[in-house]
Amino acid sequence: MGSDANRFLNRARMSTTNDYYFQYKGCNFVSTIYTKEHLEQLEHFQIHDTDVFIVTYPKSGTIWMQQIISLIYSDGDPTAVQSKPAYERVPWIEVPSSNFPARPSPRLNVTHLPYHLVPKALKEKKGKIIYVARNPKDVLVSSYYFHMHLALYESPKDFPDFFEKFIDGRVEFSCWFDHIREWYAHKDEFNFLFLTYEEMKKGLRASVQKICNFVGRELDDEKLDSVMEHCRFDIMKKNPMANYEGIPKKSSDGAFLRKGTIGDWKSHFTVAQSEMFDRIFQERMKDVPLEFIWDKE
């Protein structure tokens, strides 16, 4: 194993330095948002066949998929996406107030949880999982601005410092590499659809069709056009229910819907950072048969 990868593994084993995070079964959670009690309970939640779970590592296209799934289930009617925040329409199951057990079916959910912390009943192939992955260099940059922007989060010292934390997994939901490796390795235990942010960018209509087929919803062309219209980046950015305008900000540097592009990492990574990231990526992903799109072209 190369020295970068060794360094990564050693640092990832270190616990975090303050009580901003707590660890639960190896995963970092922000103490002000999550509780161990709730995480313990949700492993035992009952699952219905009609439940849908969007699963993402943070900053991989979660809100986009929340919007798409809301619109698919409303047959393209934008009323709900224009009047209710995404986290109410498609709540995070790991947030204690999500009220998962009591919600009526079909329950549309989202989670950033690693594979080993989701409700165990999902492995009985109840419910459906849509996993959205994004190239981790863009995830890192998006996450950096998110931490700069939202009052809820500790501000990164600077980009190089955040870069180190990200590759070491000293961030919420821990390490990108572990998240995707675990989920991908266990995907056949679930009703599972794998999509990437980049394939959605390059062919959204085909991705929406795939999702419709997976969840068993048929939309005619007119309804599909409406889904496409209301999940456009520029339309979502102007929609306060999608752009989380109500959440306290500490800086105008960034936005929830910030750039929405592929390859923004190129404006932030130095050559040395990019090479180091590539070495770690190759080492950590060597047995994962996934190709990522890193550039616009």
Which of the residues are catalytic?
Answer: 112
Task: Name the segment binding ligand PPS (CB under 6 A); options: 47-55, 59-67, 181-189, 222-230.
Answer: 59-67
Q: Is 25 exposed, middle or buried (0-12, 13-18, 19+ CB in 10 A)?
A: exposed
Residue 136's closest CA among 51, 48, 237, 61? 61
Residue 4 vs 137, nearer CB to ligand PPS: 137
Task: Name the segment binding ligand PPS (CB under 6 A); options: 26-34, 38-46, 142-150, 209-217.
Answer: 142-150
One character per residue 262-281, x = contact with ligand PPS (rule: CB under 6 A): --x-----------------
3-state secondary structure of 209: helix
Q: What is the token pair recorded at 89? A: 């329409």
Which residues face 55 on adjacent strands? 111, 131
Q: What is the token pair recorded at 41? A: 């309970």
One character per residue 182-221, x = contact with ligand PPS (rule: CB under 6 A): ----------------------------------------
Residue 34 vs 145, nearer CB to ligand PPS: 145
Residue 134's closest CA among 233, 230, 64? 64
Q: How far apart are CA 197 and CA 117, in angstroms?
A: 23
Residue 130 vs 231, nearer CB to ligand PPS: 231
One character per residue 2-41, x = contact with ligand PPS (rule: CB under 6 A): ----------------------------------------
Q: Considering Cα of 215, then 219, then 223, then 225, what sign does the dihedral take?
A: positive
Instruction: Report angle CA 111, 60, 213 to the nearest 5 degrees.
Output: 70
Which positions touch ligand PPS (CB under 6 A)? 56, 58-64, 138, 142, 145-146, 231, 233, 236, 257-260, 264
